[in-house]
C-alpha cells in the first residue's frame, strides 16, 4: 500500500468515526471516484447527507408533536372550564 493511499484511508476512518459519533459538520475529503478510497468518500458523503436529513425530520416530527400536545392541552382546559354544554 502506498503512503498516499494509507493516509487517505486513515483520513476516511477518522471521518467515519466522527460521523458515527453524530458529528455531521465533518468535512469529507474529495478523493475522486476512480479508486476505492474515492468510492468510500462518496459513500460517506451520502451517509452524512442521510444523517442531516434524518436529524431534520426528527426535529420536524418533534415540533409537530409538541404543537399537537399544546393544542390538546388548550382544548382540554376549555372543555374542563366551560359552563355550557359543548357538542
pTM for the model stands at: 0.54
For 4-62, what is each residue's pLDDT tens digit? 767 777 888 888 888 878 777 777 776 665 667 677 777 888 888 888 899 899 999 99
Which sign does the torsion angle of CA 76, 80, 86, 87 carry?
positive
32's CB contacts (< 8 A; 6+ apart) are: 38
Q: Which residue has the cell 476505492?
A: 36
- The pLDDT, as a whole number, for residue 21 is 83
Amino acid at each position: 500500500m502506498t503512503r498516499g493511499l494509507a493516509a487517505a484511508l486513515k483520513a476516511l476512518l477518522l471521518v467515519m468515526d466522527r460521523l458515527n459519533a453524530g458529528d455531521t459538520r465533518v468535512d469529507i475529503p474529495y478523493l475522486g471516484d476512480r479508486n476505492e478510497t474515492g468510492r468510500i468518500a462518496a459513500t460517506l458523503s451520502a451517509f452524512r447527507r442521510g444523517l442531516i436529513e434524518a436529524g431534520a425530520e426528527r426535529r420536524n416530527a418533534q415540533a409537530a408533536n409538541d404543537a399537537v400536545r399544546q393544542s390538546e392541552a388548550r382544548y382540554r382546559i376549555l372543555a374542563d372550564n366551560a359552563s355550557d354544554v359543548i357538542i
